[in-house]
Chain A
């Protein structure tokens, strides 16, 4: 949550609720809308770390709102985040650990573990397909997000087949 907020504030100063709306608007329906409380907590921490500063702006008809803006340190932190490559999917996989250890403990055979896992992956795939069908084709961000999940799932299934070939 920290970096997305910094990135939005790099564009222009904003208050918490505006940031929530912006995230919703940019990431569309595939991404659940961020919790407003979480946004306020994150902003407070960013301010403690000196990455943003805030100012109360008086409003005539409503309570004051607190507007946040990026500090030079915040801009630097944001730049460092943008320039660094992001972590790929993790290699340690809980299913794999189960697959190796459970048969050793005499708890399950590998074929049935793989079958259970495949059924689960296909079930998630069905959910993603449904979500895809509900997503507005013009919402590119949401479409790409779902497609990413689909491709990860495809890789998981392919890998499951590789495990089947080598381990059973």
Chain B
């Protein structure tokens, strides 16, 4: 998470011809075939994600959120349309070419952690760096940094199954960030966590975002979406809304904000 944002450069950089969107899709379509019936899960989605942006994807269940994320990360092939990552078209890549691309440029966090159960926490986090060609020493150093930052150093030699859900998700986050990916894709990362663990994971995501990490996250958790710069709402495989998150009110001071909470609570009264 040690990006140039920490060194005081403007972040995210303004969009320009020289620095195109980190991720861009054009008329993206994903059709599943289930028992001979075609299901259009994603129906013509145009998304643009700038470097350093934190975007949440919301929408009812079955609206195509997870499918979209999986297609954007190359876990499933697109049926039609274009995906551009870092200025290169990637929708036609083979599964193995996607695997190579993901190692360096795309980190994934899932709802159910998906850690390798036969490896220790440390090995889970070092593996992506080793696969990407880092030396064991480099991989170890990065792992130590990440575990320290996420507050799970003491669990390095533990098996994932012995950790709480919140700890497992922190390990999954460390693994996803191991290679400083250009893009972090997260699918309901707090969907399986209690509120204390949700707060912890949010704090870590927030910190990664402030350090310049670009994040695209599927969530139905309003707390998560409230942290994002922008929220895209999917409905029936299409974008129903795409808007920046703007505080409902700008408060001059803490008292103004307290008044707003009071109003909000009385509204429910």
Q: Give A residues with C-beta under 8 Å from B.
A: 29-32, 87, 89-90, 111, 114-115, 118-131, 134, 145-150, 152-154, 157-158, 161-162, 164-165, 168
Size of interface on B: residues with Cβ below 8 Å to A: 35
A-B contact pairs, 8 of them (CB 8 A): A31-B261, A32-B262, A115-B243, A122-B231, A123-B249, A125-B222, A126-B246, A146-B261
Q: Give B residues with C-beta under 8 Å from A.
A: 58-60, 195, 220-223, 225-227, 231, 233, 235, 240-241, 243, 245-249, 251, 254-255, 257-262, 264-265, 268-269
Chain B residues positioned under 8 Å from A87 (CB to CB): 269
Q: Which of A32, A122, A145, A153 has the most CB of B within 10 A?
A: A122
Chain B residues positioned under 8 Å from A165 (CB to CB): 60
Chain A residues positioned under 8 Å from B264 (CB to CB): 124, 128, 149, 152-153
Q: How far, in whole Å, are A100 and B212 apart by their CA atoms in the complex? A: 43
A130 CB, min distance to chain B CBs, angstroms: 7
Docked-complex contact B59 and A154, CB < 8 angstroms: no
Docked-complex contact A134 and B245, CB < 8 angstroms: no
Docked-complex contact B226 and A128, CB < 8 angstroms: yes
Docked-complex contact A131 and B223, CB < 8 angstroms: no
Q: How far, in whole Å, are A145 and B266 apart by their CA atoms in the complex? A: 12
Chain A residues positioned under 8 Å from B248 (CB to CB): 120, 123-124, 126-127
Docked-complex contact A161 and B221, CB < 8 angstroms: no
Chain A residues positioned under 8 Å from B243 (CB to CB): 115, 119
Q: How far, in whole Å, are A124 and B226 apart by their CA atoms in the complex? A: 8
Docked-complex contact B247 and A130, CB < 8 angstroms: yes
| Closest B residue, CB atoms, query A163 | B60
Docked-complex contact A32 and B231, CB < 8 angstroms: no
Q: Which of A127, A134, A149, A168 has the most CB of B within 10 A?
A: A127
Docked-complex contact A161 and B60, CB < 8 angstroms: yes
Docked-complex contact A131 and B225, CB < 8 angstroms: no
Q: How far, in whole Å, are A95 and B268 apart by their CA atoms in the complex? A: 13
Docked-complex contact A131 and B226, CB < 8 angstroms: no
Q: How far, in whole Å, are A134 and B251 apart by their CA atoms in the complex? A: 13
Docked-complex contact B221 and A129, CB < 8 angstroms: no
Enumerate the 3 nearest inter-chain pairs by beta-carbon distance, A residue then B residue, closest first: A125-B226, A123-B248, A115-B241
B157 CB, min distance to chain A CBs, angstroms: 31
Give 7 A-B pairs besides A119-B231, A123-B247 with Cβ atoms closer than 8 angstroms. A32-B259, A111-B240, A115-B233, A127-B249, A127-B261, A153-B264, A157-B220
